[in-house]
Amino acid sequence: MSESGPALGEDPALVAERRAEQLGRLVSRINGLLRDVTERLMRASSRGPTERAVCERIVETEPYDIACIGEFDVAHDRIVSEICVGSDRLGGEFAVDVDAAHPIAEALDTGTVTVSTESDLLTGVDEDIAAIAAAPLSYGDRTYGVLVVGSVDPDALDDIERTVVEALGWTISIAIDAARSRRFLATDEAVELVFEIRDSAFAPVALSTTCECELSYEGTVFDADGAAVSFFTTDASPARLLSVAETHPDIRETRAVTTDESGGLVEVNFGYDTFVKALAEQGAMIEALHVESGHGRLELDVPNAADPRSVVDWIRETYPDSELVVSRERKRPPTTKREFIAELDAELTDRQRMALELAYLTGYYDRTRTVTGDELAERMDISRTSFHNHRRAAERKVIGQFLNDHME
């Protein structure tokens, strides 16, 4: 919002008084806008209708003629307008690639407000809009989208308005983060991500390619040192698979757990720097992983509060020859598998958890048991008696937790 200088011969005292009045009106306008936006956001019970109300409140205030909120379309690597509100029948929508030379993409990349008056950059927004400002909606290490405001006046979005838009973006970001955290602690929503991976840097793909075999992920145990020990069923000869695994830089050690005519169960020690641990640290849970002749399909469950986009970015950066083929939100049940495990974690000791997980993953509980307690005790480097004591204690806690939840 530009201000004109004093007219020639004008009384400096009157000029100062006029500017003070202008500044007072500006501060009042800004405070009123931020107060109303904050109040609406803090009362929010759901995100969509509330953000529309916020956009409507913004366009009631000069000099804004349009207000939009864009969200990530993770599957197509772009930002799309979920909500776009305009005054006087103005409107618009946009879809911008995250790596495009565009003020909206730039705002997200730099983490700062960007302003543009270049009409060729305003594709999708009403042609009467002469200037736009984009503010990233981010809080901490999470980025939720972008706030875009526009004006028919090309000179309207000056440094003062840039500061106002920045404050609006910050206010909206805090509210979105708080709302997502509340949902995460209650029932929460999760995002299902499915990737097709052919990158040889992904150890299961490398093993499957060389051995021309199938691998199916069964689960992971983190040993006492924090190393990730994963289990895979395979149709290849375990001896052949173990021989190939010795040459892969991401695999520390392998061993055959069970073998039969059609393959068997193998244990793969990835050490500390592994995709399993990296995904877990980002809040992603592996629901399924199947690899056949060098073509892997990885299915993940990621709570919204864990920032699914960061998971997508990590996989693409780590394994360039990968493709996101499914991205969809879904409601998680009131008590999730993740929450059930979290409650057990508070009760199980490390030894109890490892004994139980090893017994389950290696087939100890199968009707045709293929592994003995002695073998699992040796795997944990403890006595047979100690192994069974840890296993039984864990079983009592798991069964007790299950029955308590269903008897309440």
| Average pLDDT per block of 10 residues along the chain, 408 residues long | 52 66 60 67 60 82 86 80 74 79 88 82 69 86 84 86 83 70 52 91 90 85 73 82 82 78 77 79 85 90 77 91 86 56 68 83 79 84 80 78 56
pTM (global) more than 0.75: no
- Cα separation, 363 vs 356, in Å, equals 11
Residue 6: inside a domain: no
Per the CB < 8 A criterion, the answer to whether 147 and 135 are in contact is: yes
Total number of domains constituting the chain: 2
Can you give the pLDDT at residue 162?
84
Residue 88: inside a domain: yes
> Within this chain, do residues 326 and 201 fall inside the same structural domain, yes or no?
yes
Among the listed residues 127, 143, 134, the one whose alpha carbon sits nearest the alpha carbon of residue 105: 134
Question: For the stretch 237-275, what's the b/e string if a residue is b when 16 or more beta carbons lie within 10 angstroms of its beta carbon?
Answer: ebebbbebbeebebbbebebbbeeeebbbbbbbbeeebb
> Within this chain, do residues 152 and 213 fall inside the same structural domain, yes or no?
no
Residue 2: inside a domain: no
| C-beta atoms surrounding 32 within 10 Å | 12
Can you give the pLDDT at residue 345?
66
Residue 1: inside a domain: no
> Within this chain, do residues 94 and 224 fall inside the same structural domain, yes or no?
no
Can you give the pLDDT at residue 185?
43
- Residues contacting residue 182 through CB under 8 Å, at least 6 positions apart: none
Which residues constitute the domain of residue 129?
12-185
Domain boundary among 157, 185, 213: 185
Three-state secondary structure along the chain?
CCCCCCCCCCCHHHHHHHHHHHHHHHHHHHHHHHHHHHHHHHCCCCHHHHHHHHHHHHHCCCCCCEEEEEEEEHHHCEEEEEEEEECCCCCECCEEECCCCCHHHHHHHHCCCEEECCHHHCCCECCCCCEEEEEEEEECCEEEEEEEEEECCCCCCCHHHHHHHHHHHHHHHHHHHHHHHHHHHCCCEEEEEEEEECCCCCHHHHHHHHHCCEEEEEEEEECCCCCEEEEEEECCCHHHHHHHHCCCCCCCEEEEEEEECCEEEEEEEEECCCHHHHHHHCCCEEEEEEEECCEEEEEEEEEHHHCHHHHHHHHHHHCCCEEEEEEEEEECCCCCHHHHHHHHHCCCCHHHHHHHHHHHHCCCCCCCCCCCHHHHHHHHCCCHHHHHHHHHHHHHHHHHHHHHHHHC
Per the CB < 8 A criterion, the answer to whether 299 and 197 are in contact is: no
User: Quick one: tokens of 338?
Assistant: 């993740």
Can you give the pLDDT at residue 1?
47
Among the listed residues 254, 239, 241, the one whose alpha carbon sits nearest the alpha carbon of residue 214: 241
Residue 3: inside a domain: no
Condensed to tens digits (0 to 9), the pLDDT of residues 4-38 reads: 455 555 676 776 666 666 555 556 666 667 667 66
> Within this chain, do residues 181 and 198 fall inside the same structural domain, yes or no?
no
> Within this chain, do residues 230 and 353 fall inside the same structural domain, yes or no?
yes
When the pLDDT of each residue in the chain is averaged and rounded to a whole number, the result is 77
Residue 26: inside a domain: yes
Per the CB < 8 A criterion, the answer to whether 397 and 344 are in contact is: yes
Residue 80: inside a domain: yes
> Within this chain, do residues 304 and 355 fall inside the same structural domain, yes or no?
yes
Can you give the pLDDT at residue 407?
40
Domain boundary among 155, 185, 215: 185
Amino acid letter, 73 = D
Query: Which residue do the tokens 């706030």 mark?
Result: 147
Q: Is the bond into 238 cis (omega within 30 degrees of 0)? A: no
Amino acid letter, 12 = P
- Cα separation, 92 vs 74, in Å, equals 21
Residue 7: inside a domain: no
- What is the sign, positive or negative, of the torsion defined by CA atoms of 148, 153, 158, 161? negative
> Within this chain, do residues 194 and 337 fall inside the same structural domain, yes or no?
yes
Domain boundary among 185, 204, 228: 185
Among the listed residues 291, 258, 293, the one whose alpha carbon sits nearest the alpha carbon of residue 363: 258
Per the CB < 8 A criterion, the answer to whether 104 and 134 are in contact is: yes
Query: Which residue do the tokens 């393959």 mark?
Result: 263
> Within this chain, do residues 162 and 218 fall inside the same structural domain, yes or no?
no
> Within this chain, do residues 173 and 210 fall inside the same structural domain, yes or no?
no
| C-beta atoms surrounding 164 within 10 Å | 24
> Within this chain, do residues 211 and 347 fall inside the same structural domain, yes or no?
yes
> Within this chain, do residues 240 and 346 fall inside the same structural domain, yes or no?
yes
> Within this chain, do residues 127 and 274 fall inside the same structural domain, yes or no?
no
Can you give the pLDDT at residue 138?
83
